[in-house]
Amino acid sequence: MAKLLAGALALALLRSDRRPLFRAAIGGGALLALYGGVLVVAGALVLAGAIDSSEPVDEYALRWHVFLWDMWFLVWGAALALAGRRLLPRR
């Protein structure tokens, strides 16, 4: 549901000039980018052996998350935040 709302917010940015919507895009995008960044770094550290997992790790699934799924959150969040910042009306 949150992904659907974030997608709707990204589309609403194209049709709106309301400041709170742009600020929501910047904040939401920053949170998505932070979430993705933390997961990418943590997963990469496990794959590199810098962090030892107490449970067995499915390396195939972890690689999938690090290089595609979690990286997508990082890129998507950064793009949403940058779009909100770019469209934010200047004073």
Which pTM was predicted?
0.75
pLDDT per residue as tens digits for the range 35-91: 999 999 999 999 998 988 888 888 899 999 999 999 999 999 999 999 888 877 776
- At 82 the pLDDT is 92
- At 16 the pLDDT is 58
Q: Specify whether the CB–CB gap between 29 and 87 falls below 8 A.
A: no
Q: Specify whether the CB–CB gap between 57 and 42 falls below 8 A.
A: no
Domain, as residue range, for 90:
33-91
Residue 26 domain flag: no
- At 33 the pLDDT is 96
Residue 69 domain flag: yes
User: Nearest CA to 77 among 40, 46, 37?
Assistant: 37
Residue 55 domain flag: yes
Is the model more confident about 13 or about 39?
39
- Please count the structural domains in the chain: 1
Burial of 19 (0-12, 13-18, 19+ CB in 10 A): exposed
